[in-house]
Amino acid sequence: MKRKVQVGLIGLGTIGRGVAKLLLGRQKELSYGRGFDLQLVRIADVDITTPRGIDLPAEILTTDAYQIIDDSNISIVIELIGGIEPARTYILRALEQGKSVVTANKALLSQHGEELLQVAQRNGTYLYFEASVCAGIPIIRIIREGLVANRIQKLYGILNGTTNYILTKMAEEESSFKEALARAQQKGYAEADPTLDISGLDAAQKLSILLRVGFNVSIPVEDIFCEGIEKITSRDIE
């Protein structure tokens, strides 16, 4: 008989809904060949009454995240609420109880990643944050495992897809910054409030995480110089 691995999800926003749909709808595929059954048994969110476009059993919903964190039967906690607090408090408490934690919270990791990793190590558990950088590219695992015997000398690449799209449109189609941004928002590449992307902060947060993984150095995001693209004009592109 397969061992049951119970999962709790904190945060039911856009990403949280996608994760819940995946865990509930593809449970057999995700568990196949792994020697255990992966089961999503609890979801916590501040709002559990608004329709989410996904069929969720009412009995697994709660507004209290600690019903997940303090449940001894749940061994994996997925944090998808974003921001610093209460996400930091939730993750620390889960790690201290020996639970593995999965998060995509780059803002939190760029500020408190070292602390969280130390707590995980001290309690003999794991903090996974693959989705915090480079979208679906498994760059964290590649650096930590595939390249573990190598000495990385430099990291470079596109850290923010939104700004890359905007600059590409300005360069190739001679669009103004405002025009390119509007198109990015229409296509869903940019948020209604694009400040995090166009200010450079999103890229700086991701770089802070990659520096820790690739070079084993902890550089707070506020110590990384970054300059946004909002003042770039067509003349600059030329």
| Residues comprising the chain, all counted | 238
Is the pLDDT at 94 greater than 90, yes or no?
A: yes
Q: Mean pLDDT lowest for which of 14-18, 35-39, 50-54, 99-103?
A: 50-54
Separation between Cα atoms, residue 100 and residue 98, nearest integer Å: 7
Model pTM greater than 0.85? yes
DSSP string, 44-94: E-S--SS--SS---GGGEES-THHHHT-TTEEEEEE-S-SSTTHHHHHHHH
| Torsion angles phi and psi, residue 221, rounded to 5 | -60, -30
| Secondary element (H or E) of residue 128 | strand 127-128
CATH number of this structure's domain 161-237, picked from the four choices 3.40.50.620, 3.40.50.880, 3.30.360.10, 2.30.40.10: 3.30.360.10
The CB-side HSE value for 105 (13 A sphere, CA atoms) comes to 26
DSSP 4: E
| CATH number corresponding to 3-132 | 3.40.50.720
pLDDT confidence of residue 119: 98
Pair of tokens at residue 142: 């590649």
Average pLDDT, the chain: 92
DSSP H helices, 70-225, are 87-96, 106-122, 139-141, 161-172, 177-186, 195-198, 201-215
| Secondary element (H or E) of residue 176 | none
- Strands 100-103 and 36-44 come out as unpaired
By C-alpha distance, which of 89, 27, 24, 32 is closest to 54? 24
Among 61-70, 142-151, 152-161, 189-198, the range of highest mean pLDDT: 61-70
Domain spans in the chain, listed from the N-terminal domain onward:
3-132, 161-237
Q: Give 21-67 pLDDT, tens digit per residue.
A: 999 988 888 888 788 889 999 999 999 988 888 889 899 999 999 99
Q: Which residues are catalytic?
A: 206
Q: How far is CA 80 from CA 20, 71, 132, in A?
A: 11, 18, 11
